[in-house]
Amino acid sequence: MANKKVSLVRKCKVPDDGWRYYPAVMSANGKIKPNTVSVDGVEVAYPIGHYALRSYNGPKLVYTRIEGGATEALAAVKLAQKKANALAIIGDAGVQVVKDSTRTSLRDSYPRFVQAARDRGSDEAAETYERAVEEFLAGCPKIYADELTREDVTRFHVQMKARGLSARTVSNRHFNLRAFLISLGLDVKVIAGKPPRYDETLPEIYESEELAAFFSSLTLDYDQILFKLLLTTGLREREAMHLQWTDLSFSRRTLQVRSKPQYKHRIKTAEERELPLTQELVAQLQAYRQQLPAGRKLVFGKLGGREDVPDGHLLRRLKLLVKKAGLGCGTCAACLAKTGCENWWLHKFRATYITTLLRSGMDLRTTMRLSGHADLESVMRYLRPAGTVEVQDRVNAVKWF
């Protein structure tokens, strides 16, 4: 009998009503109906969202996010129910489950590991650690750290590949998991082994035609300024989220990138930097600020009466705008599912910024300072070679003999 304390839900973006948890819907054959939930007994499809396990830790209600789609969600809820049922049977039999305090529990160590990253001010690292380790533990049957073997890590690789993740993503999450294993005091050379190999790909940037079509489709000043700022300053997502009006100097046409302790945000390299702004963008920012109430702090706070709360959904906003303008590629899985387009993401603006600076003749060290990187090698990873047409023009201009 299924344990009712563990159930599958989906956190959905409900139009005009924000984010809500609803029970996931099962089909007659025992599978999950993708993106479909039950709202007051009526089946409704919400394409934007993710699955989660709903359970209790004592009296406390807990939601555990599930990475992946309906297939991964079904496997996760079955495993969770098996564990819950086993504990219930043991309890009914009068057997007391006692944790071995001399051994390191994986589940107990995981939140401490993530929190340690946040305490260091590494919020971005904490988010990537959380995503990778949570997925690893969801598919790992082991309880204690000393039980882990190379097979557990290999299984993690296999399940990620089965979800369709790229080889580079699998490799990145391997290193995130490796950091967790190191924190447990394990021999990572034995247990984790080497990361999966992948082919280095060219950094992706937005083409001029894409950008022109995108910006011509934007109707709100908020969107025009947000994405133009990302394109012409290379700000990281969290830097843009926490940008305040006091960080801008209209007279000097500059932007200061600073940590924001009040929001528990620290800049990635722990080094402040000053960025030049275009004259056009300064004029747009000045006009936009005059429309806002006095005392507004954040430049890009949440809209709808919560403008002094950082907007953590800038990527989702980009996807919705691209979808609305019909600028998706039409062939990727996200486009086919009508949830957005895989070819549009925030960090691509940053890659475009760095590549444009370098192609325009900006030297590497200045580009490194403007982009907020700690070394030249990191900057070079963002440099995309000139396109075929540009190369042809240069080759044609060469005097060969």
Domain ranges of the chain: 7-92, 106-191, 208-388
CATH H superfamily, domain 208-388: Intergrase catalytic core (1.10.443.10)
- pLDDT value, residue 2: 41
293-344: per-residue pLDDT in tens?
Answer: 888 899 998 877 677 888 888 998 999 999 999 999 988 877 887 778 889 9
> pLDDT over 70 for what percent of the chain?
88
- pLDDT value, residue 304: 74
- pLDDT value, residue 96: 60
Matching fold, domains 106-191 and 208-388: no
Distance CA 353, CA 367 (A): 10
Distance CA 121, CA 138 (A): 26
The mean pLDDT of the chain is 85
Residue 108 banded pLDDT, cuts 50, 70, 90: confident
Distance CA 297, CA 247 (A): 10
In CATH, 106-191 is 3.30.70: no
Rounded to two decimals, the pTM is: 0.58
